[in-house]
Copies of this chain bind each other. A is one copy, B any other.
């Protein structure tokens, strides 16, 4: 028996390439841009962008902030790097130094751009079609001069409900996007869909699709089976195994009570590692031996550094590995059990500095 104390996060970037390829083939007439914002959803933007740039020919990347674009530029010297939150006083230097392309979302951002144009760069314009987040409203589009409209290289918008195939918002946003594009930017290439929109059909795909969550293995079309491959395995060592007498309480605030004698394992991972605390008394961990996979329920509150699980009847000992994520319990599963979505889970776990990361 060996003692281990530290969780390990394994990231399989071969599966990233497979997912990117599969999605690209679903939109064969569109440029397949990669969304690597938020440090590639926590998985490491530098490595992810480098892999896509080198092995798939991807030459279009989306990030949220200028600082994120600078990281991508280091590994993608010839790519277009679009910055969704736009350009500001606090990011101008990065835009200039790294030739980043702002997504311009409102008249004030356009004014700022016109004061600080970057040679060789032509922004995207973001038009609002129903999400009511960033983007020009129609009254603002109508106020643009003919000169203003020539600033842009692309027109884009974003869908609100594309993960629900039959949602009325999809058709409504598609119709609005077509109408605004035809009226204000008839000559410009267009982009409407992220990963989820790709699955809605070719009419949603336009000239560029923005592939994010799905290339990281998340099911963005939950009404159909997931064909994306999981990139992540997360495991943590068992520090201690104990018999729990009937009537014992477990964890902070004593939220679990043993109603019969149980056997528990204390696993060295907690919400300090990015595990959602809302998995308390709800989530699951898995143990593997000889191809057999055993499931153990998380009991009591998850604490900063530990989770406790019920291993009654299982052959689990100190030094064994508990799997928090694997190919059979994915980000989507954990998101569901935690009452949130896979995107939030991966953004938290992926960026956690405490893991021993193995890419």
Contacts and interface: CB of A to CB of B under 8 A. Distances in A.
Given A306-B133, A354-B67, A239 B37 contact: no
A105 B240 contact: yes
Contact of A278 (B66, B137, B264, B339): B339
Interface in A235-277: 237, 239-240, 242, 244, 248-254, 264, 266, 268, 271-272, 274, 277
A109 interface: yes
A54 to B, nearest CB: 24
A271 B334 CA distance: 16
A354 B264 contact: no
A127 B38 CA distance: 42
B304 A347 contact: yes
Interface in A300-359: 300, 303-306, 308, 318-319, 339-341, 343-344, 347-348, 351-354, 356
A73 B108 CA distance: 49
Contacts of A133: 250-251, 266, 303, 306, 308
B132 A5 contact: no
B106 A239 contact: yes
Interface residues of A, number: 81
B251 A5 contact: no
Nearest to A278: B340
Contacts of A300: 132
A293 B190 CA distance: 42
A209 to B, nearest CB: 18
A89 B4 contact: yes
Interface stretch (A17-25, A79-87, A148-156, A224-232): A79-87
A68 B163 CA distance: 40
A179 B302 CA distance: 28
A290 interface: no
B239 A134 contact: yes
A44 B351 CA distance: 15
B85 A252 contact: no
Given A3-B88, A86-B5, A252-B161, A106 B354 contact: no
A88 B5 contact: yes
Contact of A3 (B84, B112, B132, B340): B112
A295 interface: no
Given A106-B318, A240-B134, A343-B304, A85 B268 contact: yes
B340 A249 contact: no
Contacts of A237: 88
B4 A251 contact: no
A181 to B, nearest CB: 20
B4 A88 contact: yes
A109 B319 CA distance: 10
A254 B352 CA distance: 31
Interface of A: 1-6, 37-39, 41, 64-68, 84-91, 105-106, 108-109, 112, 128, 130-134, 137, 160-161, 163-164, 167, 169, 237, 239-240, 242, 244, 248-254, 264, 266, 268, 271-272, 274, 277-278, 300, 303-306, 308, 318-319, 339-341, 343-344, 347-348, 351-354, 356
